[in-house]
Structure formats: C-alpha cells, structure tokens
C-alpha cells in the first residue's frame, strides 16, 4: 500500500497559490453523482486545506444564481448558487468567481463547493469540511498541520 505524502498547511503560501491539480474530484448528493472531474484547480493558502475549483463542464445538474455575494481580498467578488434535488433545494453552498483578480483568472467560471450537505471525494477519499462554516477547504488524510476554522484552529492529525 502506498504511503500518502502529507501536505502541511502551515507551509502553504500567503498570498494563496492557484494551480491545476490532477486529483480526481467527485461530489455525490442524494445518491446522484452531481460533479466529476480530473481537470480542477486548487487554491493553497497558509493554514487552510485545499479549496477546489471544478470546471462547470463537470457539473451534471443545473444551478441557479442567488443574490448572495462575498468578497475575497485575493480572488475578488464571489457569486453564489442554489441547487435542487427532488423537493430539496440548497442555497449558497456553491460559489464561483466570474471576474476574478488577475492572479486567479484561470478559475473564472469554475465552481467551488462547501463539503456538505453532499459528499465530496478526492481520489476516492471522502473529505471532511474545513471547520466552521466560513471557509470552503476540503480536509483529506494527507492534510497535516493546524487548519484555520471555527473557535480558533483545528489540528487534523
């Protein structure tokens, strides 16, 4: 069995780094695969687990834009979406940057998902959400170090 190499979030850069990742990302909700890609980007930032941005082409269900927006000092203004499955609608747990700042232009139109209420997977491993309900990082078994989150910090090891 191969040993995973840890990614220490304390060594991640600030300002954040955007790069392509070859990792296989999948999102399942209510028994349905709603996104699947090996063509994503990740953003690596000090004390944060990776935040993944999936191409819109990987999405298998429609989204509806909501009125919510937020602002990131690095990426710019975020647009939020709702998604429905049967009689259930979840709003503001998916976002994108439609006019990102120059260093993040590559993620224009890509989507990021909070890890929940759906199940998110990286290379077949179900992720844990970054603690709290503000940041959208995905914690996997190869994430080491102190992760920023609710009530201070969280050590995933």
Q: Rounded to two decimals, what is the model's pTM? A: 0.91
Predicted confidence at residue 57, as pLDDT, reads 97
Q: Is residue 84 part of a domain?
A: no
59: DSSP letter: B
Block residue for tokens 């102190």: 146
Q: Is residue 136 part of a domain?
A: yes
Q: Name the 3-class secondary structure at 56.
A: helix
CATH of the domain at 121: 2.170.150
Pairing of strands 32-37, 25-29: antiparallel
pLDDT in tens, 8-34: 999 999 999 999 999 999 999 999 999
Q: Is residue 41 part of a domain?
A: yes
Q: Is residue 140 part of a domain?
A: yes
Write out the residue range of the structural domain in which residue 30 sits. Answer: 7-60+101-154
Q: Name the 3-class secondary structure at 60.
A: coil
pLDDT in tens, 31-75: 999 999 999 999 999 999 999 999 999 999 999 999 999 999 999
Rounded-to-5 percentages of helix, strand, coil across the chain: 10, 50, 40
């Amino acid at each position: 069995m191969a040993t995973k190499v840890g990614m220490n979030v304390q060594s991640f850069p600030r300002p954040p780094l955007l790069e392509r990742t070859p990792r296989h990302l999948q999102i399942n909700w209510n028994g349905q695969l709603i996104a699947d890609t090996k063509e994503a980007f990740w953003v690596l930032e000090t004390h944060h687990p990776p935040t993944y941005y999936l191409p819109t082409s990987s999405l298998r269900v429609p989204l509806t834009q909501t009125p919510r927006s937020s602002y990131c000092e690095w990426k710019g203004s975020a647009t939020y979406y709702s998604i429905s499955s049967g009689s259930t609608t979840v709003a503001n747990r998916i976002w994108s940057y439609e006019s990102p700042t120059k260093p993040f232009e590559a993620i224009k139109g890509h989507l990021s998902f909070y890890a929940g209420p759906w199940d998110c997977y990286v290379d077949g491993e179900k992720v844990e959400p970054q603690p709290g309900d503000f940041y959208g990082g995905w914690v996997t078994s190869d994430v080491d170090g102190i992760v920023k989150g609710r009530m201070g910090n969280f050590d995933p090891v």
